[in-house]
Amino acid sequence: MDDTDIRTLFGAEGPDGSSGIDDLARMLQGPVLTPGQDGYDDERSGFSLAAQHRPDIIVGAAGPADVQAAVAYARRNGLPVAVQATGHGAPEPATAGMLITTGRMAGVEVKPEAGSAWIEAGVRWQQVIEAAAPFGLAPISGSSPHVGAVSYTLGGGIGLLGRTFGYAADYVRRIDVVTADGRLRHVTEESEPDLFWALRGGRSNFGVVTGMEIELVQVSRIFGGGLYFDADDVPDVLRVWRDWTTTVPDEMTSSVAVIPGRNVVQVRIAYVGDMADGERLIAPLRDAGPRLIDMVTEMSYTESESICNDPTDPQASTMVNAMLSDLDDAPIAALRDVSRGDATVPCILDIRHLGGALSRPPAVPNAVGHRDAQYLVGVITPLTGTDVKVARDVHGHVLKLLQPWTVGRYVNFLAGEHATRDEIRAAYEPTDYQRLSVLKGVYDPSNLFRLNHNIPPALDS
Ligand SMILES: Cc1cc2nc3c(=O)[nH]c(=O)nc-3n(C[C@H](O)[C@H](O)[C@H](O)COP(=O)(O)OP(=O)(O)OC[C@H]3O[C@@H](n4cnc5c(N)ncnc54)[C@H](O)[C@@H]3O)c2cc1C
């Protein structure tokens, strides 16, 4: 569909003043669904059971032309637009407006000679990992391969190999995006440098991404897995891990999960190097104390899901995060208290070691913030059987304790009610945030794309 078609679409209002919905449905390859229709509930559902969209209209886009038509319709009818691929990262859910789902856009094409892959909007990391592996290549994917690759990358993307290679957003070569004017733009550093900068970090604020070209890295095997300790038997694991992180090379990326119900501390390892070096490097961790399970070994990158063992079933949970300049003994003690089995609400901790390539500026600058952070702390509380108000209080208390070391937030970990305006602003460097809001004013002045991690347009620019 060309841009002229898009602009002349839905020119006439229906009898209720807001229709054209049948015209829209006729134009699309994918379905158009409204509340009460068969398929509506399935289409709006995803991984998160805590933040579920209930829009006025869902467009199940089958390709870029469907997205263009949907955006034109939404603009014509004054409907704000939300996007969903897998439902792993919804901010405050859409209770009105339009939801564009991208699950049908699931193509992956690896170009081994270019060292890259073209990924469509609905692709999960698992598909990219599997498609790249036969060529000895891998994407900059994260702890769970079931997360949507496009949104993960638009938010930065702190992955299993982050310290070696940097953010996923640093590996984007081209982005196809439908902007608020209904145009499908093929955005590169050369074609539209401002928009290219803003999309990589600014998430969904600038349009609906229909696909992107990402660079792959030459990794087929890694040394990795989980070391599991009993938190009572080895109370000092967090401190041992923290001390150890200050000694390791950039090829070593690791994180720790503290799981209160099971009283387990899981140290997760991903080392890009040979097994003998890996064994030598992690020896101080193994010496921390008796291990319940030791799964660290050489593995294919296709098995890397086993390193963190993230949940795969839909979950209702709430989460806060803080990017830290350091992890002193004081925050460690506070975090240990909050994650104790007898704490007021169960708090799962996910603490990631940053630095290395994550701290270095990318070859082509982007909007990803806080490259100076050395650790990322996530505090997750499952909402089953938990009073959400108590969870909120506990999370607020943890964030206050971490404040002296906090440099900002990580946008990909801002989900649900925590994706407030202030928290989103805190995910960026102040000057970058200002530039993002100016660009938002250029590309989406009416804030059509506001059901997201929203950066309001600076309209006086
Ligand atoms: C179990 C789990 C593990 C995770 N691991 C990591 C990790 O290791 N590293 C990391 O950095 N993050 C991680 N995340 C966070 C994850 O990257 C974000 O939540 C991401 O937004 C999920 O994208 P999605 O498409 O799967 O989810 P969705 O909920 O479908 O999308 C999230 C948001 O992204 C936007 N969006 C989606 N598709 C498009 C599009 N095509 N165009 C424009 N906007 C779009 C929309 O605003 C949408 O609300 C994890 C999350 C979970 C739940």
**Domain-by-domain residue ranges, the chain?**
3-101, 108-218+427-443, 221-418
Evaluated on CA atoms 100, 101, 104, 108, the torsion sign reads positive
Instruction: For residue 89, give the ligand 1 atom closest to its CA.
Output: 19
Query: Alpha-carbon distance 387 to 393, whole Å?
Result: 10
Q: Are 224 and 269 in contact (CB under 8 A)?
A: yes
Instruction: For residue 453, give the ligand 1 atom closest to its CA.
Output: 47
Q: Among 45, 95, 102, 151, which is best to mutate for testing ligand 1, by the most ligand atoms less than 8 A from CB?
A: 151
Q: How far is the CA of 246 from the centre of ligand 1 (A)?
A: 29
Residues 6+ apart with CB under 8 A from 314: 45, 46, 47, 48, 49, 87
Q: Are 180 and 85 in contact (CB under 8 A)?
A: no
Written out in words, the top-level CATH class of the domain with range 108-218+427-443 is: alpha beta
Phi, psi of 62 (to 5 degrees): -100, -5
Q: How far is the CA of 88 from the centre of ligand 1 (A)?
A: 5
Instruction: For residue 152, give the ligand 1 atom closest to its CA.
Output: 17
User: Which has the closest alpha carbon to 101: 118, 120, 117?
Assistant: 120
Kind and range of the H or E run holding 164 = helix 162-165
Q: What is the pLDDT along the chain (461 residues), one digit of tens a residue?
A: 544 444 445 544 443 444 588 999 999 999 999 999 999 999 999 998 888 899 999 999 999 999 999 999 999 999 999 999 999 987 878 999 999 999 999 999 999 999 999 999 999 999 999 999 999 999 999 999 999 999 999 999 999 999 999 999 999 999 999 999 999 999 999 999 999 999 999 999 999 999 999 999 999 999 999 999 998 888 899 999 999 999 999 999 999 999 887 789 999 999 999 999 999 999 999 999 999 999 999 999 999 999 999 999 998 888 999 999 999 998 898 888 888 767 788 889 999 999 999 999 999 999 999 999 999 999 999 888 888 888 888 899 999 999 999 999 999 999 878 889 999 999 999 999 999 999 999 999 999 999 999 999 997 54
Kind and range of the H or E run holding 322 = strand 317-324
Structure letter (DSSP) for residue 250: T
Q: How far is the CA of 142 from the centre of ligand 1 (A)?
A: 11
Q: What is the pLDDT of residue 186?
A: 98
Instruction: For residue 86, give the ligand 1 atom closest to its CA.
Output: 30
CATH match for 221-418 among 3.50.50.60, 3.40.109.10, 3.40.50.300, 3.40.462.20: 3.40.462.20
What pTM does this model have? 0.95
Instruction: Count CA atoms closer than 13 A to 318's CA, side-chain side.
Output: 21
Quickly count helices (H) and strands (E) in the chain: 15, 18
Q: In what order do the strands lie in the sheet with 57-60?
A: 32-33, 57-60, 98-101, 81-84
Instruction: For residue 147, give the ligand 1 atom closest to its CA.
Output: 26
What is the architecture of the domain spanning 3-101? Answer: 2-Layer Sandwich (3.30)
Phi, psi of 345 (to 5 degrees): -130, 150
Among protein residues, the one whose CA lies closest to atom 49 of ligand 1:
90
Among protein residues, the one whose CA lies closest to atom 34 of ligand 1:
151
Q: What is the pLDDT of residue 160?
A: 97
Q: What is the pLDDT of residue 391?
A: 87
Q: What is the pLDDT of residue 460?
A: 56
Q: How far is the CA of 415 from the centre of ligand 1 (A)?
A: 9
Kind and range of the H or E run holding 215 = strand 208-215
Q: What is the pLDDT of residue 6?
A: 46
Q: What is the pLDDT of residue 1?
A: 54
List pocket residues of ligand 1, CB cut-off 6 Å. 46-47, 83-91, 102, 121, 142-144, 147-148, 150-152, 154-159, 203-204, 208-209, 310-311, 412, 452
User: Which has the closest alpha carbon to 21: 92, 89, 98, 87?
Assistant: 98
Q: How far is the CA of 191 from the centre of ligand 1 (A)?
A: 26
Q: Extract the tokens encoding 154.
A: 């638009």
Instruction: For residue 310, give the ligand 1 atom closest to its CA.
Output: 1
